[in-house]
Structure 1
Amino acid sequence: MFISPSPIVDDLNAAVGSTPLVRLHRLFPTTEVLAKVESMNPGWSAKDRPAVSMLDDALHRGVLAPGGTVIESSSGNLGISLARACTLRDVNFVCVVDARANRSTVAAIRALGARIEVVDRPDPATGDLLTARLARVRELLDEIPGSINLNQYGNPANARAHHRGTMREIAEATGGRLDVMLAACSTTGTIGGCRSYITERGMQTELVAVDAVGSVLFGGAQGARLLPGMGAGFVTELSRQVEPDRVIRVSERQCIAGARILAQREGILAGASTGGVVFAAAQVIRERPEVRRLAILVHDGGLPYLETVYDDDWVRENLDLAPEDIRATMTEIEDLQTHDGTDRD
C-alpha cells in the first residue's frame, strides 16, 4: 500500500490538527463510536488547537508582540500547548497551575521554557482552586509590565479553533452523518465550537456536554472536584454563549473506569476527562438504541496520569475508591451497551 509522505512544516504549531478518527469496535461492538484522538497533536491534547488560535489572534490584533508575556491559568494541558506555542512565537509565558496538576505535566511546561506559578490554597470565599488561580493571574498582570492574559474562558478564538478544526474535521470525515457528538467541558470552548459548526451546517447531530459532578457549568451544583481538567468552579463566559442539547455529569469513579477500559480494550491511553466521555457514550447507547454513529473526543493522552488515574494506590488514598470499585464500574460500562432494556444493577 502506498503511503503519502508527511508534509514539511515550518514548526510544530503548523502540525496541530488533522488527528485521526478511530472506530472503537472492541469496546463498542453494537454501535459505531468514532474517537477523535486529540492526544496525537504535537502537544498531546486538544488544547493545542485553542493555544495556537488564541496566541496567533493576539499577535495579529497587535495586543501582543514578540518579546511580550502571556500569563494564563491552566490545569495542565493548555499550559503545555501554550508553552510550546509561545516558544515558537518568541513570547514569554507564565503558567499558573494548582496543586492538583500532574508533576510530569508541570515538568513538561517548565522544560518548554515557561515560568511556573503554583497555587496551593483554594479561594477562601468559594473553596475553588480555579478561582484562586485566576486571582493569581490578575496579580501577575499587575506585576509584569506589558503582560496579557489570553482568557481562555471567554476568548472567541478558543471556540473558533474547534469550529474551524475539530468539528469540521469530524463532519468532513463522516460526510456530516453523525447522530451524537460528545465532548468534555472545562472552558466550554470545544462545546461552543462544535455547536456553532453543527448549527451553521444544519447537521442533525445531538451535542452532549460531559461535565464533572461538582462543576457549576450548565446549571451544575458546586462541589469538590479532585481530578483536574474537567468542569469549572464558576460559570465561564464562553459557557453563557452555548447551549448543548444535553449535559451528562460523571463522577471520578466513572472517569477512572472509562479511561482504564478504553486503554485495555482499544489501546488508547487517555486522561480522566476522556474516561468520563467514554462512560457517557455508553449511557447514551443504552438509552437510545436507535443511535447508529457517535463521535467522542479523546481530549488528551494518559501518560501524565500513570501515577494518579491508573494507579490503584493513589486512587484508594486520594479518592477512597478500591480497585474492585473501579472494576465494577468498568463492567457497568460494558453492561450499559445492552439494548434489551434489562437492568443489570
Structure 2
Amino acid sequence: MIYQSISEFVGDTPLLKLNKIEIPNNNSIYAKCEFKNPAGGIKDRFAFFAFKKLFKAGKINKNSIIVEASAGNTGLGVALAAIEYGIEAIIFVPEKFSLEKQILMRALGAKVILTPKDEGMQGANLRAKEFLEKTPNAFSLEQFSNKDNPRAHYELTAKEIYADLGKKIDYFICGAGTGGTFSGVASFLKEHIKDVKCVLCDPKGSIIGGGEKGESHIEGIGNDFIPKNMDLSLIDKVIKIDDKEAYIGLRILAKKEGILAGISSGACLSAALKLSENIENRNIVIILADSLQNYLSKNLI
C-alpha cells in the first residue's frame, strides 16, 4: 500500500489479545497498541485531529507558531503535525521527563524549552501561556482544556476498539494525564455498552483518582491537578499503581508478549492483572500509550 502523507499513519492501531501472560480467573486482556502511531504515541491522534480542524477554520496558517506544554507524547505529536502543516512548533517540557522524548521532538524540528522540575506540568503550562501572550502569531492546542482532545478519542480511538470487540467489552482501563483519552473513550463506550465499567489506572501520588499528592515516575498519566478534560463522572473504579508495579508490568509486556511499550502501559497492565484477581470470565481493554524507546535511558529492562 502506498501512502501520500505521514498523517495517513495515524490511528487504526492493532488491538492485540494478550495470550502469553498468565491472567487470573479466565479473564482476557486486549491491548490497544498506540505506540504504532507514527511519532510513537497516542497523542498523535489529538495533534492531527486538532491541526486539521484549526487549519480548516482558518485559526492557524503557515505563519503560525504552535506552542504547547507537554510531558512528551503530545509534544511529539505536535512536532510531527507541524511538519505536515509546515509551521513552527515550540514545546515546554518539565525537566524531569524523558530525555529521549526531548531528543525526538528536536529531531522533528521542534524547539524544546525545559521548565523547572519542581514546577511540574502546571509550571510548564504557565510558562507556555506567558510565551503565548508576548509572541505574535502564536497559538496553543491547550491539550488540558481543548475539547477536541477527548473528541478525537471519542471519534477515533473508541470507535476502533468498538469495531473490533463490540459489546463484548466488560472493562476499559486507561490512565489520565490530560483526561482526553480516558474521557473520550469512556464516554463512547458507556453510550454503546450498557454494563461496561471504566477503570482509571492512576499513579500513586496523582490526585486525579483521589489520594494525597506525591511524586510519581510514571510519565504521561497522573497529575497534581484535575484537568478540565477529565470527566470524573465516567470513573467506575480507580486502581492505584506505584512506580515498581508499572516497571514490572512493562517488563512482563516485553518478556512475555514481545511488546516494547512504555511506563504507563506497564501501569495499565498491572492494573488489569490486579482487577483480574477479583473478576471472572471478563474481557478487559487496556491502552498501551507509547513505546519503550522513549525510556531507554531509565534502564527499566
- 1:150-165 equivalent positions in 2, closer than 5 A: 150-165=141-156
- Residues 26-49 of structure 1: CA deviation (Å, up to 9, x unaligned): 114532211111111111111111
Q: Give the equivalent residue in structure 2 for 1:142.
A: 133
Aligned to 2:115: 119
Aligned-pair CA distance for 1:144:
1.5
Deviation for aligned residue 1:241? 6.2
In the other structure, the counterpart of 1:222 is 213
Instruction: Name the SS of the counterpart of 1:294 in structure 2.
Output: strand
Which residue of 84, 88, 100 corresponds with 2:84?
88
* CA distance in structure 2 between the partners assigned to 1:89 and 1:187 by the alignment: 24
Deviation track 1:250-293 (CA, whole Å, cap 9, x = no partner) reads 1011111110111111000111111110110001110112x421
Q: How does 1:145-224 map to 2 (within 5 A)?
A: 145-224=136-215
Cα distance in 2 between the residues matched to 1:241 and 1:16? 28
- Are residue 12 (structure 1) and residue 6 (structure 2) matched? yes
- In the comparison of the two structures, how many residue pairs are matched? 299
Which stretches in structure 1 are left out of the alignment for 5+ residues? 1-5, 124-128, 312-345
Q: Distance in 2 between matches of 1:241 and 1:234?
A: 12
In structure 1, the partner of 2:243 is 252
Equivalent residue letter for 1:181:
F
Counterpart residue identity of residue 79, structure 1: G
Specify whether residues 275 and 56 from structure 1 end up closer, same or farther in structure 2 by C-alpha distance, changes over 3 A only.
same
- Give the alignment partner of residue 69 of structure 2, picking from 64, 73, 83: 73
- Residue 314 of structure 1 corresponds to none
Which structure has more relative contact order (CA 8 Å, sep 6+)? It is 2
1:302 maps to what in 2? 292
The ranges of structure 1 where at least 4 consecutive aligned residues each deviate by more than 6 angstroms after the TM superposition are none
CA contact (8 A) 2:10 2:38 kept: yes
SS class of match (2:298)? coil
Measure the CA separation in 2 of the matches of 1:35 and 1:28: 15
Distance 1:232 1:24, change over 3 A: same
Q: Which amino acid aligns with 1:83?
A: A
Structure-2 change in CA distance of 1:146 and 1:238 (3 Å)? same
Structure 2 unaligned blocks of 5 or more: none
1:284 aligns with 2:275: yes
Q: Give the Å deviation of 1:242.
A: 4.5
- What TM-score results when the alignment is normalised by the length of structure 1? 0.83
1:244 to partner: Cα distance: 1.3
C-alpha displacement at 1:149, in angstroms? Answer: 1.3
Does residue 1:31 correspond to 2:27, yes or no? yes
Displacement of 1:101: 2.1
Instruction: Provide closer, same or farther for how the CA distance between residues 202 and 64 of structure 1 changes in structure 2, counting only shifts above 3 A.
Output: same
Deviations 1:218-261 (A, max 9, x none): 43321112332111111100114652111111101111111011
CA contact (8 A) 2:250 2:262 kept: yes
How far residue 119 of structure 1 moved from its aligned partner, in angstroms, is 0.8
Determine if contact 1:270/1:301 at 8 Å carries over to the other structure.
yes
The answer to whether the 8 A contact 1:36-1:297 is kept is: yes
Q: 1:297 to 1:198 in 2, by over 3 A?
A: same
Query: What SS class does the counterpart of residue 280 from structure 1 fall into?
Result: helix
1:233 aligns with 2:224: yes
Whole-angstrom CA distance in 2 between matches of 1:49 and 1:260? 26
Asked if structure 2 preserves the Cα contact closer than 8 Å seen for 1:94 and 1:117, the reply is yes
Which has the higher Rg, Structure 1 or Structure 2? 1
Given that 2:28 and 2:283 are in contact with CA atoms closer than 8 Å, whether structure 1 keeps it comes out as yes
The answer as to whether partners of 1:19 and 1:40 remain within 8 angstroms in 2 is: yes
CA 1:99 to 1:279, structure 2 compared with 1: closer, same or farther past 3 Å? same
**Paired amino acid for 2:20:** R
Write the deviation string for residues 10-68 of structure 1: whole angstroms up to 9, x where unpaired: 31112211111111111145322111111111111111111111222222232222220
Distance 1:162 1:28 in 2: 30
CA contact (8 A) 2:96 2:117 kept: no
Aligned with 1:21 (options 2, 6, 15): 15
